[in-house]
Amino acid sequence: MLGFSWLKPYGEGLGADIVSDFIELNGYLKIAPDATGKGSIITIMSPNPEVGQNVKTSMPMIVAEELGVNWKDVIVEQAPLNTAIFKRQVAGGSQSIRQTWATLRNAGATAKHLLIEAAAQEWGVAAAECTAADSFVKHASSGRSASYGSLAAAAAKLTPPAPEAVKLKDPSEFTLIGTSQMNVDMEAILTGKPVFGLDQKVPGMLYSTALRPPAFGQKLKSYDDKAARAVNGVKDVFKFGSDNKIAVVATSTWAAIKGKKALQAVWEDDGTLESTASQYEAMRQKLDEPAAQPKRNDGDVKAAFATADKVIERVYEAPYLPHNPMEPGNFFANVTTDKVELSGPAQAPERFRGEVAKLLGRDESTVTIGLTRMGGGFGRRLRGDFVLEAAEISSLAKAPVQHVYTREDDMTAGIYRPACMYKFRAAIKGGQLVGYHLTGAGMGSGNVVRENFFPAGALENCLMESHEVPSKVTTGPWRAPVTNFLASAEQSFFDEIAEALGKDPVQFRIELFERAKANPVGKFEYDAERSIGVMKLAAEKSNWGKAAPGIHQGFSAYFCHNSYVAEVAEVKMEGRKPVVKRVVCAVDCGIVINPVAAINQCEGGVIDGIGHAMYGDFTLEKGKPQQDNFDKFRLIRMGEQPAVEVHFVKSNTDPTGLGEPTLPPAGGAVANAFFKATGQRVYVQPMVKGVKGLG
């Protein structure tokens, strides 16, 4: 751990005077008597990074449920990176809860087992005669009871049982899981207490910023730092990052930023500089080429199209997108001769630790990473360029530094959602969809199709191909990678197929999933029955097909990140402008841990999906980003966001992800509603380029 405290834990006042008495029962929790000696204070560690998805509340709730404690007795602390205790300390892929569900439950249940055993031994009774709840162990027949705090020391001396010997609760017994609990950091956030990376302060800390090439495909030729060094507060200026970046180190962020602006740098081209127009042309060419190896090839697609009564073909396109978290990139680093202390907003701290150790030539055991709350991430902080910069600058400056990005840095330094295009083809024969061919192409994108997602498994003839166009523009995961645009395009296309067949869009999709149930084709990842269930729920709650006069409904459904979502968007014409008024969102994510937080995630995903689909546009000219702040990059505004109504499928299935799954279907639902309202199909994102009146 770092030698300073930057995080005030939830419930801190509960145990401030008895911290030294805490007894650790396992790596996830420790217990102490409260100030009266009659109650308990339970500290539960939240292992995964908190990026706004509320795992810092929901993960400890899972431990607390099985431990049998009163939530008011709980202190929540953010755990540092510690792979000896915690597994998969990553905030990505909407997997935090899904991947740790069993481990967190066992941590709580095992501790409860030990506390019951300790009480039973003290009272000379059988453990089976004792119960535990509300932070007490009780023996009903004798009327005795003991607080967890009074039993912790004895429990810690006992041998923990094997995991398979620990009894977990049946979901019907849950008393905390399934109840809405306030974000444990809420008070700290609202009162301005230090919880974010930018809040960190240590004695002697300096601030740094960096000047990077203004265009992808350029490199540093020379620079003049005289004016920068003359800025009051600037301590040093030097090259780093393979001598292609310039660091300015100062006594304040303002001085560092001012010094950076005073630098005179000369850049030179290093090969061809890419522009949006040339990139789109390269992708279009790929859409007409067969892939060397298809991602999926069921049946005889060529024959299905050759004998079709009708073929529908459409092309969809979407631009690069920056992540734009409200908290720009930043990280603290203190590199000394014997250790490397790091702290800040990191979605993949374990990987960053290894990358920093490699960069500095250190053993990983000398590198520590503390985790702060993040002011958004959306996948950007799964890439550690800002962490590496902080570590290298601290090493060269020989001082602790807080490395800070400006908004312009954050938007132009790279790691974008890849620009992408899709060509969909559907073969119709005898009033049925008999063939499906998807070709995708993306800039530096990797695989841009999801070959085991719907409609795979539902169609005998299904071909999916993917092309990657090499690029110097850096890309990375962006909230719901690939599916964030694929779902929008696919669900728009399926509405066109339904129209060509004269079928209701919801019923058409259900029929395809019924085919996947009755006659499954090859491998696929989704559960057809759960897909049908969530679609029926969305249709029911939105009063599908029976909207009030002047309301135009659009439907979309998608499976990703192990969760099932269906959405109905409602659009109303206000003059000549189509306006999204409401979105009904149905979700099957298994057990819902904390309903208020789950709803928040769903609402945020829907609004984020709609906003970027409608307005997000990011372009390049000769390698240089043309948007570098919010005056040029349009986001959805507060007055434009629709009402979002969320409904969960009741389930006892183990929980799955929620941070991303509601985003992918949103664009398709809106596009389909726009068609109903205006008669215009949407093939281009941002939609403002293709739908009249949106502007």
Provide the residue ranges of all domains of the chain, joining segments of one domain with +. Answer: 12-190, 197-270+329-404, 289-320+416-689
Determine the longest span between alpha carbons in the chain, in angstroms.
Answer: 84
Q: What is the pLDDT of residue 16?
A: 43
C-alpha 38, offset from chain centre: 42
Q: Is the pLDDT of residue 540 over 80?
A: yes
What is the rounded average pLDDT of the residues 83-90? 93
Residues 6+ positions from 554 with CB-CB distance below 8 Å: 495, 568, 569, 570, 571, 668, 669, 670, 671, 672, 673, 674, 675, 676
Residues 6+ positions from 4 with CB-CB distance below 8 Å: 200, 202
Q: What is the pLDDT of residue 302?
A: 98
Q: Tens digits of per-residue pLDDT, 665-680? A: 999 999 999 999 999 9
Q: How confident is the model at residue 236 (pLDDT cuts 50, 70, 90)?
A: very high
Q: Is there a shared CATH topology between the 12-190 domain and the 289-320+416-689 domain?
A: yes
Q: What is the pLDDT of residue 18?
A: 42
CA distances from 306 to 192, 288, 311, 426, 434 (A): 65, 17, 9, 12, 11
CB distance 669 to 495 below 8 Å: no
Parallel, antiparallel, or unpaired for β 432-443 and 462-469?
parallel
Q: Is the pLDDT of residue 352 over 80?
A: yes
Q: Is the pLDDT of residue 695 over 90?
A: no
Residue owning tokens 């000219």 = 621
Q: How confident is the model at residue 13 (pLDDT cuts 50, 70, 90)?
A: very low
Rounded to an integer, what distance in angstroms lies between the CA atom of residue 341 and that of residue 318?
A: 40
- For residue 161, the one-letter residue type is P
Does the domain at 197-270+329-404 match CATH 3.30.365.10? Answer given as yes
Can you read off the two tokens belonging to residue 38? Answer: 């009659």
CATH number of 12-190: 3.30.365.10
Q: What is the pLDDT of residue 690?
A: 85
Q: Is the pLDDT of residue 260 over 50?
A: yes
C-alpha 83, offset from chain centre: 21
What is the rounded average pLDDT of the residues 10-33? 72
Q: What is the pLDDT of residue 4?
A: 26
- For residue 54, the one-letter residue type is N
Q: What is the pLDDT of residue 516?
A: 98
Q: Is the pLDDT of residue 174 over 80?
A: yes
Rg (CA), the chain: 28
Q: What is the pLDDT of residue 163?
A: 87
Rounded to an integer, what distance in angstroms lies between the CA atom of residue 275 and that of residue 148?
A: 64
Rounded to an integer, what distance in angstroms lies between the CA atom of residue 6 and that of residue 494?
A: 50
Rounded to an integer, what distance in angstroms lies between the CA atom of residue 75 and that of residue 31?
A: 10
CATH number assigned to the domain with residue range 289-320+416-689, chosen from the 4 options 3.30.365.10, 3.30.460.80, 3.40.30.10, 3.40.50.720: 3.30.365.10
Q: For residues 481, 320, 352 and 25, what is the CA-based torsion angle, rounded to 10 degrees?
A: -40
What is the rounded average pLDDT of the residues 346-365? 98
Quickly count: other Cβ atoms within 10 Å of residue 548's Cβ: 8
CB distance 38 to 159 below 8 Å: no
Nearest to 52 by CA among 422, 336, 374, 268: 374
Q: What is the pLDDT of residue 666?
A: 98
Rounded to an integer, what distance in angstroms lies between the CA atom of residue 319 and that of residue 14?
A: 50
Q: How confident is the model at residue 11 (pLDDT cuts 50, 70, 90)?
A: low
What is the per-residue DSSP string for 79-114?
A: ----TTT-S-----TT-HHHHHHHHHHHHHHHHHHH
Q: Is the pLDDT of residue 693 over 90?
A: no
- Residues 63-79 as b or e (16 or more Cβ within 10 Å = b): bbbbbbbbbebbbbbbb
Q: What is the pLDDT of residue 9?
A: 47
What is the rounded average pLDDT of the residues 512-536? 98
What is the rounded average pLDDT of the residues 459-485? 98
Q: What is the pLDDT of residue 169?
A: 97
Rounded to an integer, what distance in angstroms lies between the CA atom of residue 182 and that of residue 583?
A: 25
CB distance 639 to 578 below 8 Å: no
What is the rounded average pLDDT of the residues 117-132? 97
Q: What is the pLDDT of residue 81?
A: 94
Q: Is the pLDDT of residue 1 over 90?
A: no
Overall residue count recorded for the chain in this entry: 695
11 φψ region: left (φ > 0), alpha (ψ -120 to 50), beta (else): left
Q: What is the pLDDT of residue 20?
A: 52
CB distance 623 to 219 below 8 Å: no
Report the share of the chain in percent with pLDDT over 90.
95
Rounded to an integer, what distance in angstroms lies between the CA atom of residue 438 and that of residue 464?
A: 5
